Amino acid sequence: MYNRLIKIQKDVFGVTCGHPLAPLPRGCPQYFFYICYMKTTPVLNILFLKPLRFILLVVLLVVCGKGYGQIITTFAGGGSGGDGGPAAAASIYDPTVIIFDKHDNVYITESVGHDIRKVSPTGIITTYAGTNGTAGYGGDGGAATAAMLNEPVGIVCDSIGNLLICDALNNRVRKVDVATGIISTVLGNGTMTDLGDGGPATAATMHYPSGIIFDKAGNLYVSSAWYIRKINKYGIISTIAGIGISGNTGDGGPATSAKVNIGCMCFDDADNLIFTDVGFSVIRKISPAGIISHVAGVTGTYIFNGDGIPASNAHFDPYGIAFGPDGNLYFSDLNNNRIRVIDRSGIIHTVAGTGAVGISGDGGRADTAEIDRPDGLVFDSCGNLYFTQIDNPRVRKVTYPHCGYLSVEESKSRTSDIRFYPNPVADMLFIEGGVPLESVVLTDLLGKVVYRQDGVRAGTLLVSMGNLPCGIYVLEVMNSEGVREVRRVVKE
């Protein structure tokens, strides 16, 4: 049997999760391997192996409190502290974009603060680039912490770990070398133009670069106000969207003939480039063939008009955007003070925020909390959601009870005899209770009950998941002795 290298990562609440890093050696069956366990319990979590051609059900051991609602907390900001201390006690200024590197460090752009902050996996905040509030241009060839930036917005890490920064009002893209901390300019010369297509990116100009992202092939995409430019693996730059005029036209035709107003970008599994068209209240996409089309929203109409409706009819004010681990599309609804999600069936829901402006709700359900003009968002390696707030500036985190909220009393409770056996080939989940089962409830991450069986009165139960879409579910099982088990089920 082949051994498998897995990465063990620790969530801030004490849950350790393992994820696959690389394919197995040639000739070895293609399997995924997941491990998850609580530090405070002696029980090693269920692990399961699956051929990639079939559906994977990964059942992760969880002991948690009641309820399925996402829990919101403050991750960074809201305090008066500074560098070298806990991020949650620090003061941060106008946070916009947030990303993770491959070592689980968090980077946050402070656009009006003109710097980049870094939060380590242990929660300590420092300044990574910029001079703490001083706007300007300078410092290339020296330490990034001594350099001047002017409204940094988009950021991304390359495959090595170097940090690329959209230095928007300097009309440049800067790079901080991960090994040396030295900053340099890699795109633009300060000129407010978008020229240089067909030549090396190092000789091109870029007007107000704001969004930046890599595709899975290693090509770099940078958005300016009214263009998306692409730098291929050979360093050649070209325009893939926009004509240099703000607008929302051209759907169904070449993206290079369309009017756009770019916010943030992400890629789906089919290599479509999804972006928020800010100011026009829509989400659009560009296919690999270069055709632009409408994804969601009603052009020019952003006032909230409800959840549970087709996203094509929904009103919102989109900025940050990302796909979640469940394959659904999440985005910040800035002036509606919400985080929204479009599920795979095209229906829109609210994940966080009530629409009321404020900062209340930490420690409770995210969908009952107040948030204030959310902007950038990102998911960590354990599937938790982080987003920035421009007003009442801070970074909030949306997690789930089963991802770390574990009380001392619960951790000391006895291990039950309830067992779970996923069958990925038949797309079934077999539950064995030891004693008769009383109830089984399966809920999706939006809190919707997708399966429920009460009064089972039997020692075993077979649950079919064949009619459910891929994603993450929460399974709660209670036996006749009142013993309750909660587990996360991942269907891929």
Query: Could you please report the per-residue DSSP string of 199-216?
Result: SBGGG---SS--EEEE-T
Token representation of residue 278: 């800010």
User: Tokens 């430019």 — which residue?
Assistant: 229
**Pairwise CA distance, residues 308 & 482, whole Å:** 35
Residue 416 pLDDT: 62
Residue 430 pLDDT: 84
**Pairwise CA distance, residues 70 & 289, whole Å:** 38
Asked whether 134 and 148 are in contact (CB, 8 A), the reply is yes
Residue 178 pLDDT: 97
Q: What is the pLDDT of residues 272-316, one digit of tens each?
A: 999 999 989 999 999 999 999 999 999 999 999 999 999 999 999
Residue 409 pLDDT: 28
33 SS3 class: coil
What's the gap between Cα 354 and its chain centre? 20
**Pairwise CA distance, residues 387 & 5, whole Å:** 31
Residue 444 pLDDT: 82
Residue 69 pLDDT: 52
Report DSSP state, residue 411.
Answer: H
Buried b (16+ CB within 10 A) or exposed e, 217-242: eeebbbbbbbbbbbbeeeeebbbbbb
Token representation of residue 201: 């990116």
Residue 271 pLDDT: 96
Hey, what amino acid is at 128?
Y
End-to-end CA distance of the chain: 24
**Pairwise CA distance, residues 224 & 207, whole Å:** 6
Residue 62 pLDDT: 33
Residue 2 pLDDT: 29
User: Tokens 């009393």 — which residue?
Assistant: 409
Residues with Cβ within 8 Å of 289's Cβ and at least 6 positions away in sequence, in order, are none
What's the gap between Cα 274 and its chain centre? 14
Q: Using alpha carbons only, what angle is made at residue 258 by residues 256 and 260, rounded to the nearest 5 degrees?
A: 105
- Which residues of the chain are modeled with pLDDT < 70? 1-69, 400-416, 424-425, 492
Residue 28 pLDDT: 26
Residue 475 pLDDT: 87
Quick one: CA dihedral 143, 147, 150, 151, positive or negative? positive
The radius of gyration of the chain's CA atoms, rounded to the nearest angstrom, is 23
User: Tokens 């029980």 — which residue?
Assistant: 43
Residue 429 pLDDT: 85
Length of the chain: 492
